[in-house]
Structure 1
Amino acid sequence: MLRAFIDRSRSSAQCVSALALIALSTGVISGCAGKRGGPVPYNRADFVAPDLREIKSSAAHRLRPGDVVTITVFQADSFSGDRTVDATGRIQMPLIGAVDAEGKTSPELQAILTAKLASSYLRAPSVQVVIKEAKSEKVTVDGSVLQPGIYEIEGDMTLLQAVALARGPNPDANPKRVVIFRTIKGERQAAAFDLTTIRTGLEPDPSVYGDDIIVVDGSATRQQFRDVISSLPLLSVFTRF
């Protein structure tokens, strides 16, 4: 009886020790996964707003209030210049007056202006419409978030707000390592941020801009995180670090 009791006690002690070791190991692993680190530096002072970008998909972009278009009428400077789509969805043109622009593409608006000018003011006018600034831009949120995707942003937005668009970090996430990729001075660059210190006010909540790529680190997405970095020109990403 005593021998069996001792054996059972030893077995129980081994089980407790094994469980403690597992718990300790899990804590160490999760602790490592929840730390700052990696090749991307944190809170870079030179991680400024991105370059002004020409809108490559302007032919497909449908205008909305707040968008700015540059109108050029050949040999008619009085009709040329930048026009902003107002809250009613119109632009104001000299002599012509208000022209409906909301929902139109730049080629469609160009055709409308050409027809209006030809009907009353110019013979065979040559009109060009280029989107200078699009009010609605998009940001990509990827990695260990509940709903990765591409999201439209309007106006000013911060990193915390962008992550919130993706429903926030998932249980696997490491909120201490979130990287933003951005084009600055013609180079693709990156900076890391710590959501935990941002949430507590210890560090500022950085602004995000259209075309930014935000990747939230996490053990299940560690390879994906490395793939995003490796997909960018390493020299242009890390030369400034």
Structure 2
Amino acid sequence: MMFNGSKTRTWLVALCVLVMLTACAGSNTRPIADGTARAVMGSQELPAPDTTVDGRYVGKSDYRVGALDLLEISVFGIEEFSRTVRVNSSGQVTLPLIGAIEAGGKTVQELETDISERLKDGYLQNPQVTVFVAEFTSQRITVEGAVNQPGIYPITGDTSLLQAIALAKGLDRVANRSGIIVFRTIGGQRMAAVFDLRQIRAGDAPDPQVYGDDIIVVDESGARSAWREIIQSPDS
């Protein structure tokens, strides 16, 4: 049987899901054989990734500023300098006194240091600069499988699973609405959870938030969804 590139990719993803979730059948969480990943089965609450709280970035060591991110920049004791600016498509922001500065590709801490050094050069003696990422326009999610327009989509602010599906132009006619899998890295491990869009739309289950780097896979209905019967069965 021959498959085109898109179908082959979808089947490979489904196979990965099968391996991950079969390994944890009968338990909420269980390490996969190689010990490098975990799967959460049948969970309506997949924890947020390590670096986010309510969709906002709270760390400074990993995230690198990207084009169109919204930054809140302040200098302690100097209100005139504090402002909210959006990174332009070239990765730059324009600030008082120092003009255009390259922000794209830098960590928050690197950008704080850069701005501080520019202000020291003839303007302020010991500026204390704070940079906060208010919107992660450069964060992206991947939506794959039985949707009308699979792809990689940017997200800004809080985004729910239903909204993520809408970004991909909705489910296609062969979608299994009870087989929506979300992959996420938590505590340095890859994890996954299965969600039922029918329950979410009926208000019987919460609409979970998605985050940058999440991978959302929509299963296909029919025989191709037989693996769900396997992962929902008790251990033999």
Structure 2-normalised TM-score?
Answer: 0.54
Shift of 1:116: 3.4
The structure-2 alpha-carbon separation of the partners of 1:211 and 1:129, relative to structure 1 and needing over 3 Å to count, comes to: same
Work out the CA distance in 2 between the residues paired with 1:63 and 1:99.
20
Shift of 1:218: 1.0
Q: Which has the higher helix share?
A: 1
The partner residue of 2:147 within 130, 145, 169 is: 145
The answer for the alignment partner of 2:231 in structure 1 is none
- Tell me, yes or no, if the aligned pair for 1:142 and 1:213 is still in contact at 8 Å: yes
The structure-2 alpha-carbon separation of the partners of 1:182 and 1:198, relative to structure 1 and needing over 3 Å to count, comes to: same
Work out the CA distance in 1 between the residues paired with 2:185 and 2:199.
25
The answer for the alignment partner of 1:185 in structure 2 is 187
Shift of 1:104: 3.6
CA RMSD in angstroms comes to: 4.4
Question: How many equivalent pairs are there?
Answer: 171
**Code of the aligned partner of 1:148:** P
Matches within 5 A, 1:42-81: 42-45=42-45, 47-52=46-51, 56=62, 58=64, 61-62=66-67, 64-65=69-70, 67=71
Work out the CA distance in 1 between the residues paired with 2:74 and 2:98.
14
**Code of the aligned partner of 2:117:** T
* Structure 2, gaps ≥5 residues long: 1-17, 23-39, 52-58, 88-92, 228-236
The answer for the alignment partner of 1:194 in structure 2 is 196
The structure-2 alpha-carbon separation of the partners of 1:85 and 1:161, relative to structure 1 and needing over 3 Å to count, comes to: farther
**Code of the aligned partner of 1:135:** F
Shift of 1:49: 1.3
Shift of 1:114: 2.7
- Tell me, yes or no, if the aligned pair for 1:173 and 1:218 is still in contact at 8 Å: yes
Work out the CA distance in 2 between the residues paired with 1:217 and 1:183.
20
Structure 1-normalised TM-score?
Answer: 0.53
The answer for the alignment partner of 1:235 in structure 2 is none
Work out the CA distance in 2 between the residues paired with 1:165 and 1:179.
16
**Code of the aligned partner of 1:64:** D
- For 1:50, what is the secondary structure of its paired residue? coil
Percent identity among equivalent residues?
Answer: 35
- For 1:120, what is the secondary structure of its paired residue? coil
- For 1:115, what is the secondary structure of its paired residue? helix
The structure-2 alpha-carbon separation of the partners of 1:44 and 1:205, relative to structure 1 and needing over 3 Å to count, comes to: closer
Between structure 1 and structure 2, the one with the greater Rg is 1
Q: Which has the higher strand share?
A: 2
- Tell me, yes or no, if the aligned pair for 1:110 and 1:127 is still in contact at 8 Å: no
* Structure 1, gaps ≥5 residues long: 1-36, 72-77, 226-241
Q: Say whether 1:116 aligns with 2:119.
A: yes
- Tell me, yes or no, if the aligned pair for 2:72 and 2:85 is still in contact at 8 Å: no
Q: Deviations over 1:107-165 (max 9, x none)?
A: 7886565333212345xx99999876752221111111111111111111111110010
**Code of the aligned partner of 1:116:** L
Q: Deviations over 1:151-187 (max 9, x none)?
A: 1111111111100100111112111100111122222
The structure-2 alpha-carbon separation of the partners of 1:151 and 1:117, relative to structure 1 and needing over 3 Å to count, comes to: same
